[in-house]
Structure 1
Amino acid sequence: MPGSAVVLIGAFVAALLGVSLSTVVLCSNRRQAHRASPSPSQRSVVDLELGLGRSPCGIDEAVLAAYPTAVYASAASRPGEGQSQVAAAAATVEDGQALGDTRDTTCAVCLAEYADGDELRWLPGCRHAFHRPCVDEWLRRRPSCPLCRT
């Protein structure tokens, strides 16, 4: 009996180790699969933000082309003038109303500083300005201002 008890305990320990090992492998595989593919709700949020998997919901190209643009020139690059070329252009666009805050020197889409010669696009509703390529791509995907969402 003592010899059979040892064999029985050994078989029980071996079975327990086998079940534990297979559980660890199974859970590890599930965890990797879960990380690799987001849940349906996570996918829909990502798709919505990127404008993927849906019909186009941004601004039409013809409307986008009608939005005003200006070339940026810093006040430092134009000696003797206290205002940038953007501010001067802003004063002449849309019935003489100033378009946006000309003190902003950073594109809110790409977060880069404006450089002399950069083409900026003004949004007519809120009068915010951004790099033209940055805001054009943004508006093709979603029809709202990157700053104020109007």
Structure 2
Amino acid sequence: MGALEIAFIGVTVVAVVAMAVLLHMCARSGAPAAAAVRLGGTAEVGGGGAVEAAGGLDEAAIKALPKVVYGAAADDAPPAQSSTGCAVCLGEYTGGDVLRVLPGCAHSFHRQCVDQWLRLHPTCPVCRTSPLPSPAPASSSLAGRPAQP
């Protein structure tokens, strides 16, 4: 065997070991989420909606989000945003489409598209803000006290 063949074998072995270590680390990082999904639990997030263990919102939180009918307004513009299409399916809005407007950011989407998205992800598909109301800030023990000179 020549020196070149030995070097090639050495590099190949190092690459295989490195890939095995990376795959092991990636598999271990997903273990807590997978265990939570198997348990089927939910966790309370924000100020009122529940986030499923798999990561998305529960049905009650999704149904509570506002919806509007596109084309019901006189100017035929989508609510609160200048976009005329759904960022989830990339389809254009047409008259009579039911849209959901996320309260945190005012982005609008086809109701069916964003509902499906929110079952898997607890954030807006465009800006990643939470559509759930944020909790009231906790009052500090120093909040009502006058400033010390």
TM-score when scaled to structure 1?
0.49
- Structure with bigger gyration radius: 1
Hey, which of these two has a bigger chunk of helix by percent?
1
Hey, which of these two has a bigger chunk of strand by percent?
2
TM-score when scaled to structure 2?
0.50
